[in-house]
């Protein structure tokens, strides 16, 4: 039964060759991510032309400090492809991920944003060390599109591709909770969420799937897959 379950979801224990290839995919992607995200966040902190992509009604959204754990769980998703994707799929995923980061970087540069929520610690009654670390490394400017949503969505979509419905449902539920967490931890606004989702979906649907279909001759990838 255990082997049948593993085969059903396409889970594999990677060998050393697969692990090295995953690192060769992950490291360049993270390098582009950190270079674009942190440099533009730093530069934007010196600019005065900040856009406010939120309504006053959004600022009444409740703050739920416990959602920080869901928020941080986003960083586990890049590990999943190691166990579910082959080398060809990993390479295409890397290119798609880097593409989303570069597009997001252009948006951050052209539309420097300003977070509407107050970042004081008065409202944080628990898990303050986690929020302290988050506020120290993440300035409130690179907002739309949300790279949290983009990253979580892209990796969730790719891993869910051609998996059983119940497994897709788990991944999509996780992704939905991450989307909710960026709002309830007051890290993003609705426009950020929507644009982050659009970015990852476009690259998944119109780059990742189409690129694999072209490589495989259209045999193993369903372009209607979501």
pLDDT in tens, 70-116: 999 999 999 999 999 999 999 999 999 999 999 999 999 999 888 98
Q: Which residues pair with 51 in a beta bridge?
A: 113
Judge whether 130 lies within some domain.
Answer: yes
Judge whether 171 lies within some domain.
Answer: yes
Please report, to the nearest 10 degrees, the dihedral formed by the alpha carbons of residues 33, 37, 40, 43 taken in order: -120
Dist. CA 105–CA 179, nearest whole Å: 20
Residue 181: is it exposed, middle or buried by C-beta count within 10 angstroms (0-12/13-18/19+)?
buried
Q: Which domain holds residue 32?
A: 17-216
Judge whether 158 lies within some domain.
Answer: yes
Is residue 221 scored above 60 in pLDDT?
no
Judge whether 223 lies within some domain.
Answer: no
Judge whether 204 lies within some domain.
Answer: yes
Cβ atoms of residues 98 and 31 within 8 Å: no
Judge whether 226 lies within some domain.
Answer: no
Judge whether 108 lies within some domain.
Answer: yes
How far apart, in Å, do the first and last CA atoms of the chain sit? 27
- Total structural domains in the chain? 1
Judge whether 37 lies within some domain.
Answer: yes
What pTM does this model have?
Answer: 0.89
pLDDT digits (tens, 9 = 90+) for 22-38: 999 899 999 999 999 88
């Amino acid at each position: 039964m255990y082997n049948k379950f593993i085969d059903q979801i396409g889970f594999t224990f990677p060998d050393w060759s697969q692990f090295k290839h995953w690192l060769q995919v992950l490291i360049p992607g993270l390098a582009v991510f950190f270079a674009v995200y942190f440099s533009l966040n730093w530069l934007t902190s010196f600019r005065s032309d900040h856009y406010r992509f939120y309504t006053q009604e959004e600022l009444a959204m409740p703050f739920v400090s416990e959602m920080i754990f869901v928020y941080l769980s986003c960083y586990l998703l890049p590990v999943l492809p190691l166990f579910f994707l082959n080398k060809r799929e990993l390479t295409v995923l890397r290119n798609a991920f880097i593409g989303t980061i570069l597009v997001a970087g252009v948006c951050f540069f052209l539309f420097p944003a300003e977070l509407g929520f107050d970042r004081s610690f008065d409202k944080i009654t628990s898990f303050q060390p986690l929020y302290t670390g988050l506020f120290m490394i993440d300035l409130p400017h690179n907002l739309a599109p949300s790279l949290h949503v983009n990253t979580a969505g892209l990796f969730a979509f790719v891993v869910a591709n051609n998996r059983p419905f119940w497994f897709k449902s788990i991944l999509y539920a996780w992704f939905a909770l991450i989307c909710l967490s960026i709002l309830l931890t007051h890290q993003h606004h609705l426009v950020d969420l929507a644009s982050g989702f659009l970015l990852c979906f476009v690259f998944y649907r119109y780059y990742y799937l189409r690129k694999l279909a072209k490589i495989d001759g259209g045999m193993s990838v369903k372009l209607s897959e979501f």
